[in-house]
Structure 1
Amino acid sequence: MLATPVSDRVLRPGWAGEPKWDGFRALVSVDAGQVVLRSRRGTEMGPAFPEAVAGAVQLPDATALDGELVVWDAAGRLAFEQLQNRLQRRGAGAARAADERPAHFVVFDLLRLSGTDATRWPYRRRRARARVRVRRPSTVRPVGAVPVDCPPRGRCARRPPMPTSCASG
């Protein structure tokens, strides 16, 4: 599901707001122990981001998540240009880049859980289950759930550091 940018942070009933990330929209799926990381247009991204693939191994089999790959710079800011530089790297070059500036897969939505299609579940249920599924040992860092920034109704409690996008559900 693609987000819709909004200028007013007052949300309609049934909508939730999330920060706007400066990364690549991606889908990660685990099937029969194999992790596939693809762009929203279907391009295979796993070889360029081995740390994200390694982090997704923890997910239950037959599970799929919608999210965004992001990289932070040394100052803790999102660094889209560093993410772009990673796209053509493979093998040892990708592993070096993962060590220097690891990518993180920020989870927006749970699409499938252990073979069950979750897309018909209410948004709140999918979000809650996605949060549980991406909890991980401290040694596995590249997968994490994005917090829902805004309450289901009314005005957001605080202004996020980035513009907000909203999704219905």
Structure 2
Amino acid sequence: MVLRPTIEPMLAQARETIPHPGAVPGGMAVEPKFDGFRALLYTPAGAGQPTLIQSRRGAMYQARFPDLVAAADQLPRDLVLDGELAVLEHGQLSFPALQRRAAAVRNAKTLATALPAHFIVFDVLQAEGQELLDEPYARRRQILEALFADHRLTPPWTLCPSTSDLAVAEEWLHEWTDVPGIEGVVVKSLTGRYRPGVRGPWYKVRRRETTEAIIGGVTGSLRRPHVLLVGRYTGEGHLRLVGKTVPLTTAATREVAGQLTAAGPDHSWTGVRFSVWGSSGPLDPVLVDPGLVAEISADTAQDHGVWRHPVRYVRLRQDATMADVPAFGEGARPQ
């Protein structure tokens, strides 16, 4: 069978920690989890056919990334690669810059010059016209490494690192995630086949840290809050939204509801409507008096001080004051 768009990429289940190698059937390989856009790249089988770049949800992105299409001349024909689209800005991986590239069509060539894209490859689904979905991960990795070596591939093509050493994997999770653009690791079975559209047996582990933020609003009601909207103050004294929590547990709802009071007219968010990454539509929160400090658990994926993924409520910090909460934009990561 020859693979053609659209293929649903294989997905990973979330875990809190890296499993012990013995807990993964067939042994495990671990790769860094880059903070980009998942994509599949198809090189043409014959002359006159285009190189295609497919997003995770099936959209075709080749018009937005003409630099990658041009660089595909380095690649052999009839190849299907799975990887992560990324963009460097000022020498660092930048998700906002990647968003600009992914949204641009009319000025795609101009942006490609200013913000060149990279494709971080972690799997090969087809090589030399041969479909590889039923090959174990270890064999697909061998083919992928040989592809990079035989064709002497250079940027924008990057081979994603992989290790079976648990100590190295832990170092990647706790040390490499200090670098912008790396948010954790992905664990894969060495004997696992590629299962399009299936979540697992791959596992993603994001680095998480606890930090403080101010409760500025809730969804639901004061008596039964569902989600917390949390913020931090700017140097000018304005409360800025930095994230939303996952839905509160029953115990957390009781704990927070007993402390909430309605906001006054001078609340920084009065009249503001929020659209938070990952929400299906604008949020319309109930504003509360911003006097409560919450301890939250958050991963490392931020855009200009705002968490893209929902944070987790840990507890109220009755012992903390506004002075104990980092200012908005103070550091790119939780402290």
> Following TM superposition, where does structure 1 have runs of at least 4 consecutive aligned residues deviating by more than 6 angstroms?
none
1:77: which partner in 2?
92
> 1:71 deviation in Å?
1.1
Q: Does 1:43 align with 2:56?
A: no
- Give the letter for the 1:62 counterpart: D
SS in 2 for 1:26: strand
Query: Which runs of structure 2 are paired with 1:1-169 in the superposition (5 Å)?
Result: 1-9=10-18, 10-11=20-21, 12=24, 13-31=26-44, 32-33=46-47, 34-74=50-90, 76-91=91-106, 93-135=107-149, 141-148=155-162, 150-151=163-164, 155-157=166-168, 159-160=171-172, 161-162=176-177, 163-168=184-189, 169=192
Task: State the TM-score, normalized to the length of structure 2.
Answer: 0.45
Q: Distance in 1 between matches of 2:160 and 2:141?
A: 9
Letter in 2 for 1:123: Y
Aligned partners of 2:32, 2:94: CA distance in 1, in Å?
15
CA positional deviation for 1:36: 0.5
Tell me, what secondary structure is at the counterpart of 2:92?
coil
* Deviation at residue 132 of structure 1 after TM alignment: 2.5
Q: How far 1:137 moved relative to its partner?
A: 5.5
Take 2:122 and 2:114, find their aligned partners in 1: how far apart are those partners? 25
Deviations 1:118-141 (A, max 9, x none): 111121121121122235567x52
Taking the aligned partners of 2:14 and 2:31, their CA distance within structure 1 comes to 10
Find the aligned partners of 1:73 and 1:3 in 2 and give their Cα distance. Answer: 28
Q: Relative CO higher for 1 or 2, CA cutoff 8 Å, sep ≥ 6?
A: 1
Tell me how far apart the structure 1 counterparts of residues 55 and 75 of structure 2 sit (CA, whole Å): 19
Instruction: State the distance in 2 between where 1:73 and 1:66 align.
Output: 23
Cα displacement (A) at 1:89: 1.7
Asked if the contact 1:18–1:147 (Cα under 8 Å) also holds between the matched residues in 2, the reply is yes
The percent of aligned pairs where both chains have the same amino acid is 36
Indicate if the aligned counterparts of 1:5 and 1:164 stay in contact, CA closer than 8 A.
Answer: no
Any unmatched runs of 5+ in structure 1? none
**2:159 & 2:40 partners in 1: Cα distance?**
13
Q: Where do 5+ consecutive residues of structure 2 fail to align?
A: 1-9, 178-183, 193-335
CA-CA distance at 1:115 after TM superposition: 0.8
- How much has 1:82 moved relative to structure 2? 0.5
- Higher radius of gyration, 1 or 2: 2
Identify if the C-alpha distance between structure 1 residues 102 and 64 changes in structure 2 by more than 3 Å, giving closer, same or farther: same
